[in-house]
C-alpha cells in the first residue's frame, strides 16, 4: 500500500483529500504544520508528499528542500492558493516538484494526478 | 509671611497634581476603550479585505519607496533587494546615499549594475546638491533608483527623494527596516477606502526585530529581546502603537507617524514643502504641517493608521544609544510644538488644536518635568511632615497600578489581535518587565527627557529665531527656505 | 473667574492673619500677680527658671532660719535666701506655713539661668517664653469659677489659617479617595470585562473545534458519495443521520457549518461547488444568511452579503438591492458586488444611482467583477456616464480604457467637450490608454485651457495621440517659459509627437535647463521610468 503524507493547515481541505485518497486505497497521514511535516517525512517515510506552500512554522519551499535532501526520490505535489507566477511557486518548480495544483481545486482531479504519478 | 506664601504654593501645587492625576487616569481609560474599539473595527474590516487584488489592480495607486541611507555599506545591498521584492504592482524604490563616508554607493553600483544617468533633477523642495542619479542597466532592477547627494541629514535626504518620486504615494522608510511582503498592500488600503475625506498620510506599527528570526524580509519567529532595555521597548511600543495611536486614529487626531514607516500623499507633501530639515522631529513636524494645511484650506481629511505588524526594526539595547534617541525624540516634540504653537487651543484646527496639541504639550513634552515636580513635591510634604504626603504616596501607588493595567492591556491587545509572541515564556518575561519597568527604566526615561529639555534650552540646532516665532501658517515653511537661501 | 477667586482668597487670608497676630500679643494668660502665680502653679516647672524665698523681715525667727526644707543662707548683701526649687509645688509647700502666718516675713524670689531675679524679671522671662510658645498651659482640670475664665483665656493661640489647611486637607482627602475609587472601579470593570470576553472566546473556540470535527466526516461522505440530486432529495431524518439532531438545532453549530462550507467553496472546483450549494440550501443555511441582512451591525450584514454572493442565493437579491445605498461603506460595496455577480443581466444602473462617492477600493472590486463578467455578458458601460456622482462618471470613463471598449469612444467624444475639467482629464487618459488618434481637436482645446492640470493631462495625451497642431501648441507653451516640471512634460511629449520638431526646438534654444532635460530625455537608462 502506497503511503501519502499530506501537509496542510486547513483541516477541512486535508480531511477531504485524505478521505478521497483513502477511497483509492492509499495509506495517508495528515500533519498541519511545517515542523510536524519534516518530522513525518523521516518517520512516516511516505511515497508521495502533498504540501501547501503557506503553512505555519516552515513554508512549503523549506519542506521541499528538506524532502529533497532526506528522501530525494519521493515525488511532491504542491497545493497552493498562490498563482503559478508567484516567485515562491516558481522556486518550487525549480526544485523539481512533480506537480502543482492551484486552489481552488477538485479533489477528484488530485486523485487522478496521484494515480498518474504512481503509475 | 513667607511661610504663608510657601504653604499657599504647596496647596496650589497639590490641587494641580490631583487634577493632573485624575486627568491621567481619565485619559488612559478613554484611550484603552477607544483603542479597543478601533482595533475591533480594524479586525472586522480586515475580514472583508482581499489584499491580493491590490497587487495587480490598475486602480491601485503607485507607491514610491523613499529610503535614505547613511553609512549603510554593510547591509545596503540586502536591504535594497528585500525592498525590491515587495509584493506590489506599481512601485519604485528610491535609495538616497546621503553623503555616506563608507562604500554604500559603491556596493550598490556593483550589486545592481548601476550607471550614472543624465537625470534632469528638479529641486522642487530645497535640498543639498545632488551629485548623481543612478539607474541599473539590468531590466530586472528597473524599479530601483539611487540618488547620490551631499550629506544633509535624514529629512534633507527624504526631500531629495521626494523630488524625484513619480508615484502617487510616498512611503518614507528607514532603509534597515524589515518590511513584510504585504506591507505595501495593507498600508495603501486606507488611501483607497476613504470616499469623503482625503487621506493625507497613513502610519504603521513598528515591531522590534531584536532576537527574532528573519527570513526573506519577514519575521518568521518572534522572541522577546534578551536585555531588559530591549524588552522594555517591546512593551513600550505596544503601548504607543496599539493603545495610543489606535485611540488617536479613532478620533482622527493622530499627530505622529513614525519616520521609520510612514506613507504620505505625494502631492500634499509637495504642497507643504516637504520635510523641514532644521528640526530633529521631522516626522512629527511634517504630519502636523500637513494637517494644518488641510485645516487652513478647509479640506476634509484623515490620517490613517494600520495596526497590522508589517515593519520591524532593531532597537538600541545600549543605554547610551537609547538615551540619545530619547533625547532627540523629546527635542523633536518640543521643536514641533513650538513651531506650531498657533495651533494650540485654536478651534480653527479642530481635533488637532483642541485635543492632540494640548495633549502632546502636557503629557508628552512636559511629562518629565511634571513627574520630577511631583516627586519633589511629595518629598517636601514628607519633610515638613504634612499629612497629605500620604495621599500623594497613595496616588503614586495608584498610578503605578494604572501603568500596570494599561501595559497589560496593550499586551493583551497584541495577544488578541496578532498573537505574535507565542511562547509562554516570552509572555512571562514581558509581564516581569511590566512590573519592574516603572522602577528601573522609567526614571531613566524621565531623566533622558529632562536632559532633552535642557539641551533644547541650551539651543542645540541654533535656529532660535525661527522657533520663537513659529509657523504662522503651514505654508510658512517654504518662505523660511527662501530666507536662508538669499 | 478663577483669578478673582484666588485673589480674594489671598486677601481674606492676609486680613485674618494680621488681626489674629495683633490679638495674640495681648493675650497673656495672666494679668496680675495672682493670676501669674496661678499660671506658675499650673506650669509646675519652667525651663531654666527656679523658685526660692527671700526673707524680708528684719529679725527672722530662728525657726525660720533653721527650716530643714528651706535651708536659708545669707549672701554678700546680707540677704537671707532659701535654696532653689525647680518645682512650684514643693517650693510653695515649703513656704506655705510662713506665708499664711505673716506675708511680710518672706517673699518669692527667682533664679533665671541661675542668676537672681525679682518678680518683674521673672514675669518678663515667662512672658517671653509664652510669646515664643515655649510653654503652654499644661492640662489640668480647671476649677470652677475664676480659673475657668483664666483657662478660657489660656487656650493657646491657634491661627485661623490653620483651619484653612484643615479645610483643604479634607477637600484633598475627598478628591484623592474619589480618584482612587474611580480608578479602582474602572480597573476592576475593565479586567472583569476582559476576563469575560476571553472566557467566552475560549469557550466558543473550544466548541467550534468540536463542531468542526463533527462536520468533517459527514461532509466528506456527502461530497464524495452523493450526487447533487441525492443531496437535493435528502429528507430531514437522513440529514440527522449525518449531523446529530441535538447539535444541528444549535445556531452556533450552523454558523460553524456555514463557515466551513463557504471556505470549502472558495477552495474547491467543479461539481463540488454545485454540491456545496445544494447542501447549503438543503440544510436551510441560506435562511440564516438572508436573515443576517437585517442585523444592525455592519459586519454581520456584510458577512451575510458575502455568503449570499458565495452561495448564489439569488432569491435574496431584492433585499440586497435595498442595501446598495447604505451609509456603511462595506455594506454598500459588498451589496453591489453581490448584485453584479448574481444578476441575470448585468445592470450598472445600481452603481449609477449611488449617491455616495465611489472609493478606489470599491472601484477595484467592481472592476474585478466586471472584468470577469465582461467575457460572458455584454455590459452597458455607458450607463455610468450618466451617473449622479462625479466619481461614478469618472469610473465609467476609466473602465472604457481598462476594458478596451472602443465601441464607446464615439459616445465619449460627444460628451467630452461639455464635462467638467476633472472628467476631461480622465477622458484624456482613456484616449491615451486606448490610443485614440481621432480626438486631437479636443486635445488641442484642452492644451489651451487655463487649468494647468488639464493642460498637463492633454500634453501627456498629445505625446501619444496628438497631431501637428498639438506640437505647435506645445512649442508655444514652452515659449511661455513654464516651470521646470511642466517644461519637462511638454518637451517629453513633443519628442514623442514629432522628433524633428523637438530637435529643431532644442537646437535653437540654448538654455541650461533645456539642455539638462534634453539629456535626460535621451538617456536610454531613463527610458522606462
- Chain C residues closer than 8 Å to A19 by CB: 220-221, 224
Q: Which of C518, C511, C512 is nearest to C491 (CA)?
A: C518
Across the interface, of C365, C488, C526, the residue whose CB is closest to B117 is C526
Q: Taking a contact as any Cβ pair under 8 Å apart, which residues of chain B between 327 and 346 contact chain C?
A: none
CB contact under 8 A, B391 and C183: no
DSSP string, B305-353: EEEEEEEEEPPP-SHHHHHHHHHHHHHHHHHHHHHTGGGTT-GGGHHII
Kindly report the average pLDDT of chain C as a whole number: 81
pLDDT tens figures, C328-385:
888 988 898 888 888 877 778 888 888 888 899 989 988 888 887 766 667 788 888 9
Contact, B117 vs B97, CB < 8 A?
Answer: no
Strands A3-7 and A48-52: parallel
Window from B252-256, B403-407, C135-139, C490-494 with minimum mean pLDDT: C135-139
Residues in B touching C194 (Cβ below 8 Å)? 409, 412
List the single residue in A19, A23, A106 with the smallest CB-CB distance to C268: A106
Query: Could you tell me which chain B residue has the CA closest to the CA of C195?
Result: B412
Interface contact B46, partner C, CB < 8 A:
no
User: SS3 of C73, please?
Assistant: strand
User: What pLDDT shows up at residue B306?
Assistant: 95
Q: How far is CA C345 from CA B188, C392, C405, in A?
A: 33, 20, 18
Say whether residue B142 is in contact with chain C using an 8 A CB cutoff: yes
What are φ and ψ of residue B142, in 5° steps?
-65, -20
Q: Out of C13, C302, C519, whose CB is closest to B120? A: C519
> B44: distance to nearest CA of chain C, Å?
7
Q: C223 and A103 in contact by Cβ < 8 A?
A: no
**Segment of A9-13, C22-26, C313-317 carrying the highest mean pLDDT:** C313-317
Whether residue C299 and residue B194 make contact (CB cut-off 8 A), yes or no, is: no
- Please answer whether residues C388 and C356 qualify as being in contact, where contact means their C-beta atoms are separated by less than 8 angstroms: no
Per-residue pLDDT at B1: 56
B350: left (phi over 0), alpha (psi -120 to 50) or beta: left
Rounded-to-integer distance, Cα C220 and Cα C243, Å? 12
Which helix (H) or strand (E) covers residue C22, if one does? helix C2-26
Q: How many residues does chain A have?
A: 119
* Chain A neighbors of C217, CB-CB under 8 A: 15
Is CATH 3.40.50.300 the right assignment for the domain spanning A3-118? no
Helices assigned H by DSSP within C27-87: 33-43, 62-65
Please name the helix (run of DSSP H) or strand (run of DSSP E) that holds residue B42, with its range, or none: helix B2-47
B195 in reach of chain C (CB within 8 A): yes
Summarize the confidence of residues A24-38 as an average pLDDT: 84
Closest CA to C260 of C287, C223, C298: C223
Q: Which three cell numbers stand for residue B169?
A: 504615494
- Say which residues have a Cβ less than 8 Å from residue B425's Cβ, sequence separation at least 6: none
Residue B254: per-residue pLDDT: 95
The alpha-carbon gap from A118 to the nearest alpha carbon of chain C, in Å, equals 22
Residues of C in contact with A11 (CB under 8 A): 212, 216
State the Cα–Cα distance between residues C447 and C489, nearest whole angstrom. 12
B336 touches B281 (CB < 8 A): yes
Contacts of B236 (CB under 8 A, 6+ apart): none
What are the phi and psi torsion angles at A5 (to 5°)?
Answer: -105, 125
Which distant-in-sequence residues (6+ apart) come within 8 Å of B48 by Cβ? C299, C302, C306, C330, C334
Q: Where are the beta strands (DSSP E) in chain A?
A: 3-7, 27-31, 48-52, 76-80, 99-102
The answer to whether the Cβ–Cβ distance between B409 and C194 falls below 8 Å is yes
CB C274 within 8 A of CB C228: yes
Grid cell in block for residue B268: 500634499
Cell representation of residue A99: 506537480
Q: Is C179's CB within 8 Å of B18's CB?
A: yes
CB C399 within 8 A of CB C433: no
C60 min Cα distance to partner chain B (Å): 56
- Minimal CA separation from C197 to chain A, in Å: 26
Cα(first)–Cα(last) distance of chain A, in Å?
13
Nearest-by-CA chain C residue for B44: C299
Where chain B has pLDDT below 50, the residues are 482-486
Q: Which residue in the set C220, C263, C269 is minimally distant from A15, CB to CB? A: C220
Locate the domains of chain A by residue range: 3-118
Give B194's contacts in chain C (Cβ within 8 Å). Answer: 359
Mutate to test the interface with C, among B21, B120, B186 (most CBs of C within 10 A): B120
| pLDDT, average across residues C44-54 | 86
Give the nearest partner residue to B25 out of C183, C365, C526, using CB atoms.
C183
Joined together, the cell numbers standing for residue B342 give 498657533
Find the residue in B nearest to C21 (Cα). Answer: B1
Residue B390 contacts C, CB cutoff 8 Å: no
Q: Which residue has the cell 494680621?
A: C18
Contacting A residues, span 81-100, partner chain C, CB-CB under 8 Å: 81
- In this prediction, residue A74 carries a pLDDT of 85
- State pLDDT tens for residues C195-229: 888 888 888 888 888 888 888 888 887 777 777 78
Whole-angstrom Cα distance, residue C240 to residue C283? Answer: 10
Q: Chain A partners of C270 at a C-beta cutoff of 8 Å? A: 106, 108-109
Confidence of residue C83 (pLDDT cuts 50, 70, 90): confident
Residues of chain C positioned with their CB less than 8 A from the CB of B61: 360
Chains sharing 3 or more CB pairs under 8 A with chain C = A, B
pLDDT digits 0-9 by tens, C86-107: 888 888 888 888 877 777 788 8
Q: What are phi and psi of B4, to 5 degrees?
A: -65, -45
B445 vs C136, higher pLDDT? B445
- CA–CA distance, C272 with C380 (Å, rounded to integer): 33
- What is the reported pLDDT for C528? 61
Q: Please, which pLDDT band fits residue C237 given cuts at 50, 70 and 90?
A: confident
Give the Cα separation of C243 and C221 in Å (integer): 12
A16: closest chain C residue by CA: C220
Cell of C203: 469557550
Pick from C430, C355, C350: which is nearest to C395 by CA? C430
Q: Which pTM value belongs to this model? A: 0.78
CB under 8 Å to B26, separation ≥6 — which residues? none
Nearest to B120 among C186, C367, C488 (CB): C488
H-type alpha helices, C54-118: 62-65, 88-101
Average pLDDT on C190-194 reads 84
- Asked if B80 contacts B144 with a C-beta cutoff of 8 angstroms, the reply is yes
Pairing of β A76-80 and β A48-52 = parallel
B459 phi and psi angles, rounded to 5 deg: 90, 45
Residue partners of C102: CB distance under 8 A and separation at least 6:
C57
The verdict on C219 touching A (C-beta cutoff 8 Å) is: yes
Closest to A15 (Cβ–Cβ): which among C216, C270, C271?
C216
Q: How many C-beta atoms surround the C-beta of residue B138 within 10 A?
A: 11
Asked if B281 contacts B332 with a C-beta cutoff of 8 angstroms, the reply is yes
Residues on chain A touching C216 (C-beta within 8 angstroms): 11-12, 15-16
Report the distance separating Cα A84 and Cα A98, nearest Å: 14
Q: Are B125 and B158 in contact (CB under 8 A)?
A: no
* Residues of chain C contacting residue A52, judged by C-beta atoms under 8 Å apart: none
Instruction: Compare CB distances from B59 to C330, C367, C523 and report the shortest one's residue.
Output: C367
The angle subtended at Cα C112 by Cα C108 and Cα C114, nearest 5°, is: 100
Nearest residue of B to residue C183, measured between CA atoms: B25
The predicted model gives A28-55 an average pLDDT of 84
- State which H helix or E strand residue B465 sits in: helix B464-469
Does the CB of A20 have a partner CB in chain C at under 8 Å?
yes
Q: Are strands C73-74 and C80-81 parallel, antiparallel or unpaired?
A: antiparallel
pLDDT of residue C23: 40
Chain C residue with Cα closest to A14:
C216
Judge whether B112 is closer than 8 Å to chain C, CB to CB: no
Contacts of B225 (CB under 8 A, 6+ apart): B208, B210, B211, B231, B233, B234, B315, B317
Could you report how far apart the first and last alpha carbons of chain B are, in Å? 58
Residues of C in contact with A103 (CB under 8 A): 267
Given a cut of 80, whether residue C142 has pLDDT beyond it is no
Q: How far apart are the C-alpha atoms of C50 and C84, rounded to whole Å?
A: 6
Q: What is the DSSP letter of C170?
A: H
Tell me how far apart the alpha carbons of residues C462 and C475 are, in angstroms, rounded to a whole number: 12
pLDDT at C8 over 60: no
Q: Is the peptide bond before B480 cis (omega within 30 degrees of 0)?
A: no
Query: Is any Cβ of chain C less than 8 angstroms from the Cβ of B280?
Result: no
Instruction: For residue C310, give how far its alpha carbon lies from the nearest alpha carbon of chain A (Å).
Output: 13
* Contact A15/C at CB under 8 A: yes
Residue of C nearest to A106 (CA): C269
All three cell numbers of A92: 518550487
Q: What angle (nearest 5°) sits at the alpha carbon of residue A9, between those of residues A7 and A10?
A: 115
Cell of residue C152, nine digits: 478660657
| Chain B residues closer than 8 Å to C368 by CB | 53, 57
Per-residue pLDDT tens over the stretch A59-81: 777 788 888 888 888 888 888 77
CB of C272 less than 8 A from some CB of A: yes
Residue C456's pLDDT is 93
Interface check C205 vs A, CB under 8 A: no
> How far apart are the C-alpha atoms of B30 and B338, rounded to whole Å?
27
CB C364 within 8 Å of CB C386: no
The arrangement of strands across the sheet holding C115-117 comes to C73-74, C80-81, C49-55, C106-112, C115-117
Higher pLDDT, B304 or A18: B304
What pLDDT score was predicted for residue C446?
Answer: 93
**pLDDT: is B308 or C43 the higher one?**
B308
State whether B193 and C361 contact (CB < 8 Å). Answer: yes
Amino acid at each position: 500500500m502506497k503511503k501519502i503524507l499530506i501537509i496542510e493547515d486547513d483541516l477541512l481541505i486535508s480531511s477531504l483529500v485524505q478521505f478521497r485518497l483513502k477511497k483509492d486505497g492509499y495509506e495517508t497521514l495528515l500533519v498541519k504544520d511545517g515542523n510536524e511535516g519534516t518530522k513525518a517525512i523521516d518517520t512516516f517515510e511516505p511515497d508521495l508528499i502533498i504540501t501547501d506552500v503557506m503553512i505555519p512554522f516552515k513554508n512549503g519551499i523549506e519542506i521541499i528542500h528538506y524532502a529533497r535532501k532526506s528522501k530525494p526520490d519521493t515525488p511532491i505535489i504542491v497545493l497552493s492558493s498562490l498563482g503559478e507566477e508567484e516567485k515562491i511557486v516558481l522556486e518550487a518548480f525549480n526544485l523539481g516538484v512533480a506537480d502543482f495544483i492551484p486552489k481552488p481545486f477538485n479533489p477528484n482531479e488530485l486523485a487522478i494526478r496521484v494515480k498518474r504519478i504512481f503509475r | 509671611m513667607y511661610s504663608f506664601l510657601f504653604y499657599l504654593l504647596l496647596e496650589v501645587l497639590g490641587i494641580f497634581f490631583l487634577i493632573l492625576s485624575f486627568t491621567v487616569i481619565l485619559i488612559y481609560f478613554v484611550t484603552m476603550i477607544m483603542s479597543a474599539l478601533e482595533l475591533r473595527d480594524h479586525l472586522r474590516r480586515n475580514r472583508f479585505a482581499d489584499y491580493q487584488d491590490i497587487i495587480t489592480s490598475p486602480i491601485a495607486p503607485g507607491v514610491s519607496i523613499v529610503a535614505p541611507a547613511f553609512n549603510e555599506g554593510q547591509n545596503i545591498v540586502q536591504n535594497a533587494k528585500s525592498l525590491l521584492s515587495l509584493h506590489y504592482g506599481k512601485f519604485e524604490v528610491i535609495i538616497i546615499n546621503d553623503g555616506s563616508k563608507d562604500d554604500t554607493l559603491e556596493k550598490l553600483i556593483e550589486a545592481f549594475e548601476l550607471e550614472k544617468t543624465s537625470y534632469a533633477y528638479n529641486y522642487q523642495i530645497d535640498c543639498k546638491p545632488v551629485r548623481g542619479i543612478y539607474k541599473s542597466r539590468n531590466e530586472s532592477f528597473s524599479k530601483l533608483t539611487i540618488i547620490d547627494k551631499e550629506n544633509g541629514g535624514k529629512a534633507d535626504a527624504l526631500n531629495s527623494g521626494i523630488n524625484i518620486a513619480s508615484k502617487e504615494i510616498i512611503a518614507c522608510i528607514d532603509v534597515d527596516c524589515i518590511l513584510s511582503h504585504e506591507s505595501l498592500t495593507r498600508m495603501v488600503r486606507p488611501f483607497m477606502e476613504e470616499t469623503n475625506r482625503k487621506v493625507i498620510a497613513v502610519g504603521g506599527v513598528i515591531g522590534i526585530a531584536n532576537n527574532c528570526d528573519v527570513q526573506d524580509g519577514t519575521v518568521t519567529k518572534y522572541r522577546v529581546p534578551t536585555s531588559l532595555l530591549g524588552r522594555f521597548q517591546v512593551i513600550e511600543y505596544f503601548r504607543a502603537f496599539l493603545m495610543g495611536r489606535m485611540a488617536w486614529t479613532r478620533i482622527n487626531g493622530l499627530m505622529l507617524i513614525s519616520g521609520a514607516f510612514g506613507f504620505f500623499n505625494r502631492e500634499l507633501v509637495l504642497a507643504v514643502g516637504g520635510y523641514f530639515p532644521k528640526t530633529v522631529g521631522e516626522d512629527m513636524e511634517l504630519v502636523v504641517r500637513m494637517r494644518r494645511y488641510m485645516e487652513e484650506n478647509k479640506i476634509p481629511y484623515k490620517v490613517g493608521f494600520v495596526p497590522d505588524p508589517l515593519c520591524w526594526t532593531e532597537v538600541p539595547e545600549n543605554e547610551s544609544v537609547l538615551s540619545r534617541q530619547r533625547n532627540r525624540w523629546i527635542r523633536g516634540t518640543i521643536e514641533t510644538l513650538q513651531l506650531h504653537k498657533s495651533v494650540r487651543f485654536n478651534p480653527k484646527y479642530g481635533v488637532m488644536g483642541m485635543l492632540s496639541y494640548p495633549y502632546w504639550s502636557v503629557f508628552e513634552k512636559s511629562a518629565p518635568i511634571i513627574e520630577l515636580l511631583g516627586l519633589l513635591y511629595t518629598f517636601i510634604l514628607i519633610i515638613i511632615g504634612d499629612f497629605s504626603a500620604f495621599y500623594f504616596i497613595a496616588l503614586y501607588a495608584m498610578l503605578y497600578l494604572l501603568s500596570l493595567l494599561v501595559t497589560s492591556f496593550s499586551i493583551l491587545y497584541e495577544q488578541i489581535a496578532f498573537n505574535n509572541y507565542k511562547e509562554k515564556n516570552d509572555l512571562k518575561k514581558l509581564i516581569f518587565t511590566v512590573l519592574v519597568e516603572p522602577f528601573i527604566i522609567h526614571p531613566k526615561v524621565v531623566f533622558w527627557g529632562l536632559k532633552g529639555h535642557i539641551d533644547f534650552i541650551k539651543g542645540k540646532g541654533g535656529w532660535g529665531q525661527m522657533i520663537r516665532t513659529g509657523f504662522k501658517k503651514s505654508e510658512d515653511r517654504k518662505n523660511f527656505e527662501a530666507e536662508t537661501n538669499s | 473667574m478663577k483669578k478673582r477667586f484666588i485673589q480674594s482668597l489671598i486677601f481674606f487670608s492676609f486680613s485674618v492673619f494680621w488681626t489674629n497676630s495683633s490679638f495674640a500679643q495681648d493675650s497673656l494668660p495672666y494679668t496680675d500677680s495672682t493670676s501669674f502665680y496661678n499660671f506658675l502653679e499650673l506650669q509646675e516647672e519652667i525651663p531654666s527658671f527656679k523658685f526660692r524665698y527671700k526673707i524680708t523681715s528684719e529679725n527672722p525667727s530662728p525657726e525660720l532660719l533653721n527650716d530643714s526644707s528651706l535651708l536659708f543662707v545669707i549672701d554678700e548683701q546680707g540677704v537671707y535666701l532659701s535654696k532653689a526649687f525647680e518645682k512650684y509645688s514643693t517650693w510653695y509647700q515649703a513656704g506655705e506655713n510662713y506665708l499664711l502666718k505673716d506675708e511680710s516675713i518672706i517673699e518669692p524670689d527667682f533664679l533665671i539661668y541661675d542668676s537672681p531675679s525679682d518678680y518683674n524679671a521673672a514675669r518678663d522671662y515667662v512672658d517671653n517664653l509664652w510669646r515664643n510658645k515655649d510653654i503652654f498651659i499644661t492640662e489640668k482640670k480647671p476649677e470652677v469659677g475664676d480659673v475657668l475664665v483664666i483657662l478660657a483665656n489660656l487656650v493657646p493661640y491657634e491661627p485661623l489659617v490653620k483651619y484653612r489647611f484643615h479645610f483643604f486637607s479634607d477637600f484633598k482627602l475627598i478628591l484623592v479617595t474619589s480618584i482612587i475609587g474611580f480608578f479602582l472601579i474602572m480597573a476592576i470593570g475593565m479586567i472583569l470585562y476582559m476576563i469575560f470576553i476571553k472566557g467566552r472566546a475560549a469557550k466558543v473556540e473550544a466548541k467550534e473545534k468540536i463542531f468542526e470535527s463533527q462536520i468533517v466526516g459527514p461532509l466528506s461522505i456527502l461530497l464524495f458519495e452523493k450526487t447533487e440530486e441525492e443531496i437535493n432529495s435528502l429528507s430531514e431524518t437522513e440529514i440527522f443521520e449525518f449531523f446529530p439532531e441535538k447539535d444541528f438545532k444549535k445556531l452556533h453549530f450552523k454558523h460553524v457549518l456555514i463557515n466551513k462550507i463557504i471556505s470549502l467553496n472558495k477552495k474547491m472546483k467543479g461539481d463540488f461547488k454545485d454540491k456545496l450549494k445544494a447542501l447549503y440550501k438543503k440544510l436551510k443555511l441560506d435562511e440564516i444568511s438572508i436573515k443576517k441582512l437585517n442585523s444592525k451591525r455592519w459586519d454581520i450584514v456584510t458577512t451575510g452579503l458575502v455568503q449570499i454572493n458565495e452561495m448564489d442565493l439569488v432569491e435574496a437579491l431584492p433585499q440586497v438591492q435595498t442595501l446598495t445605498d447604505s451609509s456603511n461603506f462595506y455594506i454598500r460595496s459588498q451589496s453591489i458586488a453581490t448584485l453584479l455577480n448574481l444578476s441575470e443581466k448585468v445592470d450598472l444602473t445600481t452603481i449609477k444611482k449611488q449617491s455616495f462617492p465611489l472609493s478606489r477600493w470599491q472601484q477595484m472590486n467592481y472592476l474585478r467583477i466586471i472584468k470577469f463578467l465582461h467575457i460572458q455578458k455584454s455590459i452597458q458601460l455607458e450607463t455610468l456616464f450618466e451617473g449622479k456622482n462625479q466619481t461614478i462618471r469618472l469610473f465609467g470613463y476609466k473602465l472604457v480604457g481598462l476594458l478596451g471598449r472602443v465601441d464607446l469612444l464615439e459616445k465619449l467624444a460627444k460628451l467630452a467637450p461639455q464635462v467638467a475639467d476633472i472628467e476631461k482629464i480622465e477622458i484624456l487618459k482613456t484616449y491615451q490608454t486606448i490610443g485614440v488618434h481621432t480626438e486631437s481637436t479636443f486635445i488641442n482645446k484642452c492644451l489651451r485651457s487655463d487649468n494647468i492640470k488639464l493642460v498637463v493631462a492633454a500634453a501627456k495625451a498629445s505625446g501619444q495621440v496628438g497631431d501637428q497642431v498639438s506640437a505647435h501648441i506645445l512649442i508655444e507653451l514652452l515659449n511661455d517659459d513654464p516651470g521646470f516640471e511642466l517644461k519637462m512634460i511638454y518637451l517629453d511629449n513633443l519628442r514623442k509627437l514629432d522628433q524633428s520638431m523637438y530637435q529643431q526646438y532644442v537646437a535653437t534654444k540654448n538654455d541650461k535647463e533645456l539642455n539638462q532635460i534634453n539629456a535626460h530625455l535621451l538617456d536610454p537608462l531613463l527610458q522606462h521610468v
